[in-house]
Amino acid sequence: MGEKEDERTSQAGQLFENFVQATTCKGTLQAFSILCRQLELNLSDHRGFYSSLKAAVTYWKAKGLWGKLDKRASHKEYSKGKACTDTRCLIIGGGPCGFRTAIELALLGAKVVVIEKRDTFSRNNVLHLWPYTIHDLRNLGAKKFYGKFCAGSIDHISIRQLQLMLLKIALIVGVEVHVNVEFVKLLEPPEGQGTDGPGWRAEVRPADHQISDYEFDVIIGADGRRSTLDGFKRKEFRGKLAIAITANFVNRNTTAEAKVEEISGVAFIFNQKFFLELKEETGIDLENIVYYKDNTHYFVMTAKKQSLLDKGVIINDYIETERLLASDNVNQEALLSYAREAADFGTNYQLPSLDYAINHYGQSDVAMFDFTCMYASENAALVREKNSHQMLVALVGDSLLEPFWPMGTGCARGFLAAFDTAWMIKGWAQGKEPLDLLSERESIYRLLPQTTAENISKNFEQYTIDPATRYPNLNSTCVRPHQVRHLYINGEQG
């Protein structure tokens, strides 16, 4: 009897370990499905899923993780997972912010489905993490999924590692994830059937995917900088011309590589001598440069147009940035040399070999992006009503507020918005008046672009989805309900 029990514990432990250690998106989903099948876990019981998994996986290594997740789940805001029991959410996009939002909504007890159009996590690029994000991820068990997570003074992670870790946590807390499913558009509830009739649904690609039957009352756009959700006006911040280059080189983890110092962008912006010498020696003219040692050697730099022209990276000079950076106006070989030379100089020629890592397309991982125009959504949320069905629509992450990569604000502000959105959805589930809800959300959203690692609350241990725990100078009524009437879109009224 005892032996059989031991065997079962160890088999469950092994299956769970395979899932925890999976290194790809597909591998994770596969290991998860085997785990659920073998342990006879009921995936459709999203609210009870985490407890059943915990009861089935009792080996010592998992216990630490359960302890952390239990602690998180005990926040009073979640009302023991009963705050949003009747809420059904669809999240578009499995980037870091989509998954981070999904985890919060699952902890609130909502049914959460994430659709992601791809089935690979391939971005080598590295995200800067603010101290609170490191704390947040540690508390979700980050180190169990990625042992090297933010060791010592490291404060960054590759996008794909972060996606992978958050995917695993989301699955554990009962989020349903579908890859290779692309959101196309919203489908209105049919006419004449009232509240008992079918509700809001989504058109997806492939069209016959089971998710096209899923009805929800909350939809979240977490699909990156080019959000597909209708109804949100975008504000444009037009700055001076800003061309960013990202480059990833193979990290062979040798002692020589380990010795090379990272470059934190903020410190370097003020180091004029460095940029002058770089220009004199190489002809490369940069405004800033960041170097993080991660799975790859990752560099992001902002280059001045003239030096890109002089070095033959950009072929012809055009006023419109889109034309300027169009692929037929960029000499890829020259771009590879430019970024490599800058990386070599920036690290004082100490990196032994600067071989490019390979990107998703099987090519050397270098890219050039235009940040001259940065976008932010004018509003963070709206409510649609059609044929007696109300639906809350919200944006998070880059869809809401586009980050400037060399400053690395994307994930930090993205997570704050994920929490703020979860807070709003809790209010939605409690039956708060739509205009009150929307005005509160807009009031909080006004703070987001001003947040820095320094001006948010320092008491990370107190952080919850309640905005008051995170923003020291919160005024959640600065936008009044009458100012957000346009965000309540009643389809019946045309």
Question: Nearest-5° angle of CA 129, CA 134, CA 136?
Answer: 125
Contact 357, 299 (CB under 8 A): no
Residue nearer to ligand FAD on the CB measure, 125 or 377: 125
Question: Nearest-5° angle of CA 182, CA 187, CA 188?
Answer: 160
Residue nearer to ligand FAD on the CB measure, 57 or 301: 301
Q: Minimum CB separation from ligand FAD for residue 85, in Å?
A: 26
The full DSSP string for 158-213 is EHHHHHHHHHHHHHHTT-EEEES-EEEEEEPPPTT-GGGS--BEEEEESTT-GGGG
Q: Minimum CB separation from ligand FAD for residue 396, in Å?
A: 6
Closest listed residue to residue 380, CA positions, set 341, 329, 433, 437: 437
Q: Minimum CB separation from ligand FAD for residue 291, in Å?
A: 12
Residue nearer to ligand FAD on the CB measure, 81 or 410: 410
Residue nearer to ligand FAD on the CB measure, 94 or 189: 94
Residue nearer to ligand FAD on the CB measure, 180 or 464: 180
Q: Minimum CB separation from ligand FAD for residue 173, in Å?
A: 18
Q: Minimum CB separation from ligand FAD for residue 226, in Å?
A: 7
Q: Minimum CB separation from ligand FAD for residue 115, in Å?
A: 5
Residue nearer to ligand FAD on the CB measure, 35 or 342: 342
Q: Minimum CB separation from ligand FAD for residue 405, in Å?
A: 4
Q: Minimum CB separation from ligand FAD for residue 303, in Å?
A: 14
Residue nearer to ligand FAD on the CB measure, 116 or 420: 116
Q: What is the C-alpha to C-alpha distance for residues 373 and 354, in angstroms, rounded to an integer?
A: 31
Q: Minimum CB separation from ligand FAD for residue 235, in Å?
A: 17
Rg (CA), the chain: 24
Binding residues for ligand FAD (CB under 6 A): 92-98, 115-118, 123, 125, 127, 159, 182-183, 222-224, 228, 246, 300, 397-399, 403, 405, 408, 410-411, 414
Q: For the chain, how are helix, strand and coil distributed in percent, rounded to 5?
A: 45, 20, 35
Q: Is 345 helix (H, G, I), strand (E, B) or coil?
A: helix
Q: Minimum CB separation from ligand FAD for residue 218, in Å?
A: 16
Who's near 472: CB < 8 A, 6+ residues apart?
455, 456, 457
Residue nearer to ligand FAD on the CB measure, 66 or 291: 291
* Tokens encoding 289: 């440069």
* Tokens encoding 51: 């407890």
Beta-sheet strand order (sheet of 111-116): 176-179, 111-116, 88-92, 218-221, 389-395, 381-386, 488-490
Q: What is the C-alpha to C-alpha distance for residues 393 and 412, in angstroms, rounded to an integer?
A: 22
Length of the chain: 494
Q: What is the C-alpha to C-alpha distance for residues 343 and 446, in angstroms, rounded to an integer?
A: 37
Residue nearer to ligand FAD on the CB measure, 250 or 407: 407
Listed in sequence order, the DSSP H helices in 39-177 are 46-56, 60-73, 96-107, 131-139, 142-145, 159-172
Residue nearer to ligand FAD on the CB measure, 359 or 476: 359
* Tokens encoding 92: 């578009």
Residue nearer to ligand FAD on the CB measure, 399 or 439: 399
The DSSP 8-state label assigned to residue 216 in this structure reads B
Contact 465, 423 (CB under 8 A): yes
Q: Minimum CB separation from ligand FAD for residue 140, in Å?
A: 16
Start-to-end CA distance of the chain, whole Å, equals: 68
How distant is the alpha carbon of residue 317 from its chain centre?
35
Q: 81-84, long-range: CB within 8 Å, 24+ apart, which pairs?
A: 81/47, 81/107, 81/108, 81/109, 82/109, 83/108, 83/109, 83/426, 83/429, 83/430, 84/108, 84/109, 84/110, 84/425, 84/426, 84/428, 84/429
Residue nearer to ligand FAD on the CB measure, 66 or 371: 371
Q: Minimum CB separation from ligand FAD for residue 222, in Å?
A: 5
